[in-house]
Amino acid sequence: MIEALPALPLPPGIRSRFVANHNGLRVHVLEAGFEARDRPAVLLLHGFPKLAYSWRRVMLPLAQAGLHVIAPGQRGYGRTTGWNADCDGDVAPFRLLNLVRDALGLLAALGYRSVAAVIGHDFESPVAACAALVRPDVFRSVALMSTPFGGIAALPLAGVNAAGDRAGAPAADLHAELARLARPRKHYQWYYSSRGADAEMRNCPQGQHAFLRASYHFKSADWPGNKPFA
């Protein structure tokens, strides 16, 4: 049960509560700068595998700048409930436009017609971009972190009758190419979507704490092999 989870170690000035977003979710929300209702709002959308809690260090400076800072737990993450976690469940609710609806429903529940900005990190970066494209009247500015937005996919308006149609052209098998490398590899997103990934990560022999600590260390600048600079 969500209620049985321990309280989050939040800095003073950040509150935690649950809000129904009118799109099927009971959203766990962290807020800062909530004391005055006339403040402009900013919506922070975390990515994978983060949580609303991941924004805690930037929330207070934004609140001190005069903003009402709203950081929800996204569909599929943390203490937010109302989504189907079954491996064979319907994935349609996780499509971009429905994730935009999650954000719109939450803002409506909080009494906001618009926000000064929506900030998206990692997986939620394209969600923030789509939100600003679909409802620019609500999301008046946007910032994208970590993941660039390639734009909306173009429709094949010429159809199958166009000259040089490539619909039947064989596509490169990314997974086969990765498997042929001198040290065989897998695409991490493809692995995460496989049936075995959930069990392997939840029941990892070293324990979840050690697994997650190693995973984050491997991605950080503290690991000597990670050199994301010239």
- Residue 142's contacts (CB-CB under 8 Å, 6 or more residues apart) are 117, 118, 119, 120, 128, 129, 131, 132
Name which residue leads in pLDDT, 174 or 62: 62
Q: What is the pLDDT of residues 104-148, one digit of tens each?
A: 999 999 999 999 999 999 999 999 999 999 999 999 999 999 888
pLDDT-derived band at 223, boundaries 50, 70, 90: confident
For residue 212 the two structure tokens come to 């997650």
**Can you give the pTM of this predicted structure?**
0.84
Burial 133-161 (b: 16+ CB within 10 A, else e): ebbeebbeebebeebebeeeeeeeeeeee
Residues 137 and 5: their CA atoms lie apart, in Å, by 37
15 φ, ψ (degrees, to nearest 5): -110, 155
- Given a cut of 60, whether residue 168 has pLDDT beyond it is no
Q: Has residue 101 got a pLDDT over 50?
A: yes
Task: Tell me the DSSP string of 137-163.
Answer: TTB--EEEESS----PPPP-TTGGGST
Closest Cα to residue 142, out of 130, 128, 127, 152? Answer: 128
Residue 121 and residue 50 in contact, taking contact as beta carbons nearer than 8 Å: yes
Single out the residue of 107, 134, 133, 132 nearest to residue 117, CA to CA.
132
Determine the length of the chain.
230
Query: If residue 43 lies in a helix (H) or strand (E), which one and from where to where?
Result: strand 41-45
Question: How far is C-alpha 84 from the geometric centre of its chain's CA atoms?
Answer: 16
pLDDT 10s digits, 63-75: 999 999 999 999 9
Residue 4 pLDDT exceeds 80: no
More confident residue, 87 or 109: 109
pLDDT of residue 89: 87
**Chain segment 17-61, per-residue pLDDT in tens:** 999 999 999 999 999 999 988 899 999 999 988 999 999 999 999
Q: Residues of the chain with pLDDT > 90: what percent?
A: 62
Find the helix packing angle between 96-109 and 124-134, rounded to 10°: 70
Number of DSSP helices (H) and strands (E) in the chain, helices first: 7, 6
Q: Which of 101, 114, 120 is nearest to 39 (CA)?
A: 114
Domains in the chain, start-ordered, CATH in brackets? 11-151 (3.40.50.1820), 174-220 (no CATH)
Helix, strand or coil, per DSSP, at residue 207: coil
